[in-house]
């Protein structure tokens, strides 16, 4: 399905900075981390923390989205993101629609906007969108009615902001403050919407040092503009690392030969037990998934004591609950403010028709 926006790896350009915020600066759509204030990210992390206990309650629900309908629109495959969004929405007491886009009208040539307008006509309040085109979530957000909130669940090579926030949540829970941390991100940075969102989040939260590592073909030079250190030698980068984040090789996005062989990649950039010893002894190992064992990470490291990969997945639920409840809350506040505003306009107009005014 074509929707218009250009699908190019874009490190710097993000058209979404303003549209996602209310006039007061609150998040109403969650499209990108770029341009958000630190307090907005802290609000998400603190709210997520407050939801951690919900899963151990006898009734795993809070009523914050009761009466709201959340539609999951995944135009690309997903396991973790789609299911944790569904669980998060259900734990917020929302009604949830999982639209199977392979058998929906979208597969019959219906445009993205037509699909969306039909769902909007069914009074959906929130769309969680994953799409292969960079800018898709922004495009949708710029066309929905004011009562609807859009959450970006990954758009092309641009942004995966909820993944970055759940990663920040996992880092903060394990390491506390960001300021002293050396974070190493290794792998296919070129195609990674996750890496871009993580870098923005780490910068905003004030991480001590962010080092991105990979072969020259997968490490765009303009990343330096984001204030990160570029490194091609993984062993060197690992020295004193507190957090190591592996990324998946996105072969489906590699249109030309950017890699020699997977074996060679593993030799240079695979996170092995031996390599992990080069980092700090209490370093944590992260990966957004899906992981390719024996290519990006040794199985014993993925399953080892320093790995928090499954903890990341678990934390995805309270983090996504936080993002959805904050966004819906801000949409409602903005709607209320606009209603009050129009009431004021009517009130202002009243004197002209006010009988007491005409008596003067
Ligand atoms: N991390 C992530 O986005 O995984 P899925 O593709 O399974 O959603």
What CATH number does the domain containing 135 carry?
3.40.50.1370
Region 275-302: mean pLDDT is 96
How many domains are contained in the chain?
2
Q: What is the spatial distance between Cα 126 and Cα 129, in angstroms, rounded to a whole number? A: 9
Residues 115, 48 share a domain:
yes
Residue 119, pLDDT above cutoff 50: yes
- Expressed in angstroms and rounded, the spacing between residue 331 Cα and the centre of ligand 1 is 27
Q: What is the spatial distance between Cα 266 and Cα 257, in angstroms, rounded to a whole number? A: 16
Ligand 1: which of 88, 129, 154 to mutate, most ligand atoms within 8 Å of CB? 154
- Ligand 1 binding pocket includes 132 (Cβ within 6 Å): no
State the residue range of the domain holding 144.
38-159+314-331
pTM of the model: 0.88
pLDDT: which is higher, 115 or 135: 135
Protein residue with least CA distance to atom 5, ligand 1: 78
Residue 34, pLDDT above cutoff 80: yes
Per-residue pLDDT tens over the stretch 46-89? 999 999 999 888 988 999 999 999 999 999 999 999 999 999 99
Ligand 1: which of 246, 248, 288 to mutate, most ligand atoms within 8 Å of CB? 288
Helix, strand, coil fractions of the chain, as percent rounded to 5 = 45, 15, 40
Inter-residue contact 315 to 173 (CB < 8 Å): yes
Residues 203, 111 share a domain:
no
- Expressed in angstroms and rounded, the spacing between residue 315 Cα and the centre of ligand 1 is 13
Q: What is the pLDDT of residue 261?
A: 85
- Characterize the bridge pairing of strands 69-74 and 95-99: parallel
101 within some domain = yes
pLDDT bracket for residue 112 (50, 70, 90)? confident
Per-residue pLDDT tens over the stretch 201-222? 999 999 999 999 999 999 998 8
The C-alpha angle 20, 324, 207, rounded to 5 degrees, equals 70
Task: Give the distance, in angstroms, between the CA of residue 191 and the centroid of all CA atoms in the same chain.
Answer: 15
76 within some domain = yes
Task: Please report how many Cα atoms fall inside a 13 Å half-sphere around the Cα of residue 109, on the Cβ side.
Answer: 0
Region 269-290: mean pLDDT is 97
Q: What percent of the chain has pLDDT over 70?
A: 86
Residues 144, 93 share a domain:
yes
Question: Minimum mean pLDDT among 137-141, 173-177, 231-235, 254-258: which range?
Answer: 254-258
225 within some domain = yes
Q: What is the pLDDT of residue 5?
A: 36
- Ligand 1 binding pocket includes 292 (Cβ within 6 Å): no
Protein residue with least CA distance to atom 7, ligand 1: 79
Question: Pick from 12, 46, 36, 48: which is nearest to 202 by CA?
Answer: 36
Residues 155, 238 share a domain:
no
Average pLDDT, the chain: 88
Residues 325, 266 share a domain:
no
Residue 19, pLDDT above cutoff 50: yes
Residue 91, pLDDT above cutoff 60: yes
Q: What is the pLDDT of residue 86?
A: 98
Residues 285, 169 share a domain:
yes
353 within some domain = no
Q: What is the pLDDT of residue 115?
A: 86
- Ligand 1 binding pocket includes 78 (Cβ within 6 Å): yes
Q: What is the pLDDT of residue 101?
A: 77
Residue 319, pLDDT above cutoff 50: yes
Residues 202, 220 share a domain:
yes
- Expressed in angstroms and rounded, the spacing between residue 278 Cα and the centre of ligand 1 is 28
pLDDT bracket for residue 114 (50, 70, 90)? confident
Q: What is the pLDDT of residue 244?
A: 98
Is the CA virtual torsion 256, 262, 264, 270 positive or negative? positive
Ligand 1: which of 72, 80, 311 to mutate, most ligand atoms within 8 Å of CB? 80
pLDDT: which is higher, 254 or 285: 285
Region 98-106: mean pLDDT is 74
pLDDT: which is higher, 255 or 276: 276
- Ligand 1 binding pocket includes 304 (Cβ within 6 Å): no
Residues 195, 81 share a domain:
no
296 within some domain = yes
Residue 166, pLDDT above cutoff 50: yes
Inter-residue contact 70 to 126 (CB < 8 Å): yes
Question: Minimum mean pLDDT among 34-43, 121-130, 255-264, 266-275: which range?
Answer: 255-264
- Expressed in angstroms and rounded, the spacing between residue 164 Cα and the centre of ligand 1 is 11
Protein residue with least CA distance to atom 1, ligand 1: 288
Region 125-143: mean pLDDT is 95
- Ligand 1 binding pocket includes 250 (Cβ within 6 Å): no
- Ligand 1 binding pocket includes 316 (Cβ within 6 Å): no
Residues 218, 263 share a domain:
yes
340 within some domain = no
Q: What is the pLDDT of residue 103?
A: 64
Q: What is the spatial distance between Cα 345 and Cα 349, in angstroms, rounded to a whole number? A: 6
pLDDT bracket for residue 262 (50, 70, 90)? confident
């Amino acid at each position: 399905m074509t929707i218009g926006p250009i699908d190019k790896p874009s490190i710097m350009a993000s058209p979404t900075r303003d549209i996602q915020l209310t006039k007061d600066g609150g998040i109403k759509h969650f499209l990108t981390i770029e341009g958000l204030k630190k307090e907005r990210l802290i609000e998400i992390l603190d709210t997520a923390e407050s939801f951690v206990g919900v899963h151990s309650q006898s009734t795993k629900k809070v009523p914050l989205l009761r009466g709201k309908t959340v539609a999951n629109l995944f135009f690309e495959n997903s396991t973790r993101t789609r299911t944790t969004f569904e669980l998060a929405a259900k734990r917020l007491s929302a009604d949830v629609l999982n639209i199977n886009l392979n058998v929906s009208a979208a597969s019959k040539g219906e445009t993205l906007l037509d699909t969306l307008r039909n769902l909007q006509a069914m009074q959906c309040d929130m769309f969680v969108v994953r799409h292969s085109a960079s800018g898709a979530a922004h495009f949708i957000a710029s066309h929905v009615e004011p009562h609807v909130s859009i959450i970006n669940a990954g758009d092309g090579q641009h942004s995966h902001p909820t993944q970055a926030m759940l990663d920040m949540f996992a880092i903060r829970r394990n390491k506390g403050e960001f300021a002293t941390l050396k974070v190493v991100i290794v792998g296919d940075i070129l195609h990674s919407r996750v890496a871009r969102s993580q870098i923005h989040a780490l910068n905003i939260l004030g991480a001590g040092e962010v080092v991105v590592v990979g072969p020259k073909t997968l490490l765009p030079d303009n990343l330096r503009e984001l204030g990160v250190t570029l490194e091609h030698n993984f062993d060197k980068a690992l020295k004193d690392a507190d957090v190591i984040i592996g990324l998946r090789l996105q072969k489906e996005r590699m249109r030309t030969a950017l890699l020699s062989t997977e074996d060679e990649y593993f030799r240079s950039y695979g996170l092995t037990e031996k390599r992990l010893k080069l980092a700090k002894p209490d370093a944590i190992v992260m990966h957004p998934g899906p992981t390719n064992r024996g290519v990006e990470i040794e199985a014993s490291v993925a399953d080892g004591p320093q790995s928090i990969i499954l903890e990341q997945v678990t934390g995805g639920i309270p983090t996504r609950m936080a993002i959805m409840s904050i966004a819906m809350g801000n949409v409602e506040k903005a709607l209320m403010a606009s209603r009050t505003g129009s009431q004021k306009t009517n009130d202002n107009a009243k004197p002209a028709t006010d009988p007491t005014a005409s008596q003067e």
